Amino acid sequence: MNRLRRTVLGALAAWLATPLAALAAWNESAFGAKTPQDALKGIGAANPAPSKEIVIDAPQIAENGAVVPIEISSNIPGTSSLAVVLEKNPFPLAAKFDFMEGAAPFVKLNVKMAETADVRVVATAGGRHYSATREIKVTIGGCGG
Amino acid sequence: MAGPMKMRATLAGGYTEVRVLMTHPMTTAQSGQPLHFIQNITVKLNGKALIEAEVSQAVSRNPVFSFRLKGGAKGDKIEVTWLDNKGESNKIETAVA
Amino acid sequence: MNRALARILLSLAFCAPAAAQDVKKEIERYRQMVSEGSPAELFELEGEALWKKPQGPRQASLEKCDLGLGPGVLKGAYAALPRYFKDADRVMDLETRLLHCMTTLQGRSREEATQRVFGNADRPSEMESLSAYVAAQSRGMKMAPGESHPKEKAAYELGRALYFQRAGSWDFACTSCHGEEGKRIRLQELPVLLKPENARSVAASWPAYRISTSGFVTMQWRMNNCYQQMRMPEPAFGSDTTVALIHFITVTGKGETYQGPGNKR
Amino acid sequence: MQRDFHARGQAGMERVVQDGIQRVCTETHNQPPAELARRLEADQMKTIAFPQASLIGDWKSGERIAQNGRGMQWTDAPGTPNGGSCYNCHQLSPKEISYGTIGPSLAGFGAKRGSGPELQRYVYGKIYNAKAYNLCSQMPRLGYSGTLTEQQIKDLVGLLLDPASPVNQ
């Protein structure tokens, strides 16, 4: 068997054996980070500049930490990504959204929060990083039984 | 088999609002159950990817997302795909109303 | 007194009630935001599939089930429940009627069909998904449960009496929590279901997605879970007790436009 | 009700049967005639077993009991310590923002009223059997029903009266 053919076949076999999951990018080191600082480093946004142009719309009090609704958007021109960091979660990085031309830097989603904490949103625009935070109190609802 | 999805895409002002629901347990490492959560979400408009998201187990069970696409017209095709850590995936397509 | 201290005390006096007001406002905002992103619709999809799926010894679907407006009529059926059914000679709510159809149309035993009426987040029950689907077909219609048949009147009276009935280890009645205006358990406000102005939004929003358990819950579950928290024994699914309470609450809240399936804490 | 309910877990069918007080309060919609109420309250007072020594227990344990809303339900394992569900209905420590309002606020209870032997006795008795003080009170008879132990009630007395308790800050 010639070398080229072996290489091609080998590559093909490796491609077939690759689970679909591996084809899509998922930033394992950033999502596996255990501190907000490491999570920010993991997405290449170690020292974001504070910005008032990032909007975090969320209730100040969440009755249930399992579902905390947050609406995030950025008014910074050229925003190409938004990341959500839940500062006191065991794995702080919750999500990262990349927006191509034609998508608005806006997302509404529900996240889980382990306890009362700051939610940090990091926006990337023109290769620079910006961030804003908002505290959300997590409480106990209902009879607790 | 992946559970059902549901999606609505509506024109509102100058943008298309996309609201998508996914059936998924989104189990965490702390729950004692096997880790099982969506990792990637792609939103496409007429076949072109406009939003690529990476998410963690911190997204709530049965995830619901709203996105906004600039412009858009009635009948445009919106497609949302998700892929989880076990390699399971699902997809839904709808026309902008 | 030192003037700075006086100013602090004065500001505290005004802050305390304002803080309580803020908590209430923020919790309302929380619920509003959560309901905008509710996965309740996913359960409607599951329910539709179950409605059409042949099951039981007769391998029949529920598509010919008569929910009160004729076999297979779904539109508006939930808004007209609970009501008296001649073929069963009793008042039935949605779930009790679905159970009736499972036994009569599909030939299933009551035991088998009620084995798992309350599901969980991992696996909703058949009854929950079906309730979501059927109830959704009444969206936009006015709630108008049956009130004219003598058995409907009797169910209402029984429900009302049960609402005041104190029993169990903790001496609770429905009124213990849902008896006085403006009260809450933890942060959960408690509607006084004796009053139409409170019962209306309740009747128009059940069944519902429950945020705290990520599951779909029905009125039969709500009655069951209230009795559990009242430290009582368990009421049977679809029993006269639970149907009467549901009928009483729905009649009290009649006339509201159905907007469910909704969202609960 | 006998037909519609069934025993489950620790919740036996005997709970469906109303006792005298439950019947009177149901029938009068919680407004019993004064004379009858006085007599039945006196009967309830006799059910309270007041311990001899100090009634002020450990407020830290009391806070945990007050936070815990479990116990006596058919889903609760018998034998595990029950909670008092206090925060479900009362404000206690001002630090807890998630509190109920069915009962009166007890924030600053001891700071306002002191912690003398009479007050200790009143608080212990009220938690043990609230119906001895107000026949149709919505508050469960937490000692009489076997929900809380003597020590647990003392710990709750501590939570309300101990000057070091967060309730009194």
- Total structural domains within chain B: 1
Q: Tell me the chain C residues in contact with residue D17 when contact means C-beta distances shorter than 8 Å.
A: 167
- Edge to edge, what strands does the sheet with C215-217 contain? C215-217, C208-210, C262-264
The domain that contains B33 carries what CATH number? 2.60.40.10
CA distance D157 to D123: 6
> How high is the pLDDT of residue C22?
78
Assess whether pLDDT exceeds 90 at residue D85.
yes
In a domain? residue A44: yes
Interface predicted TM-score of the whole assembly (ipTM), two decimals: 0.74
- Total structural domains within chain A: 1
| pLDDT band, residue A16 (cuts 50/70/90) | very low
Q: Do C27 and A64 touch (CB under 8 A)?
A: no
Q: Do C23 and A61 touch (CB under 8 A)?
A: yes
The full set of domain ranges for chain C reads 1-36, 37-264
- The CA distances from residue C201 to B75, C183, C220, C254, in Å, are 36, 17, 17, 9
Q: Tell me the chain A residues in contact with residue D84 when contact means C-beta distances shorter than 8 Å.
A: none
Nearest-by-Cβ selection for C241 from D1, D101, D141? D1
CA distance D72 to B29: 32
Instruction: Return the percent helix, strand and coil in chain A, to nearest 5.
Output: 20, 40, 40
Interface test with A, best of B35, B36, B45, B54 (most A CBs within 10 A): B54
Our answer on whether D and B touch (3+ beta-carbon pairs < 8 Å) is no
* All partners of chain A with 3 or more CB pairs under 8 angstroms: B, C, D
CB D43 within 8 A of CB C191: no
> How high is the pLDDT of residue C212?
78
Give the range of the structural domain holding residue A53, as residue numbers without chain letter: 27-140
CA distance A141 to chain D (A): 7
The domain that contains A91 carries what CATH number? 2.60.40.2470
Asked about C15 being catalytic, the answer comes back as no
Q: Which residue of C has its CA nearest to A58?
A: C30
> How high is the pLDDT of residue C13?
38
Assess whether pLDDT exceeds 50 at residue D142.
yes
As a whole number, mean pLDDT of residues A85-99 equals 96
Nearest-by-Cβ selection for A104 from B15, B30, B86? B15
Give the range of the structural domain holding residue B58, as residue numbers without chain letter: 5-95
In tens, the pLDDT along C166-192 reads: 999 999 999 999 999 999 999 888 999
Q: Considering the entire predicted model, what is its pTM?
A: 0.81
Cβ neighbors of D29 (< 8 A, separation 6 or more) are C164, C175
Bridge-based pairing state of the strands A117-125 and A79-86: antiparallel
CA distance A92 to A31: 7
> How high is the pLDDT of residue C211?
81
Domain C37-264 classification at class level? mainly alpha
In a domain? residue A9: no
Block mean pLDDT (10 aa), chain C, length 265 = 42 44 81 80 91 97 98 98 98 98 98 95 91 96 98 98 97 96 91 95 93 89 96 97 98 94 84
> Which has the closest alpha carbon to C172: C155, C190, C196?
C190
CA distance B9 to D78: 52
> How high is the pLDDT of residue A143?
54
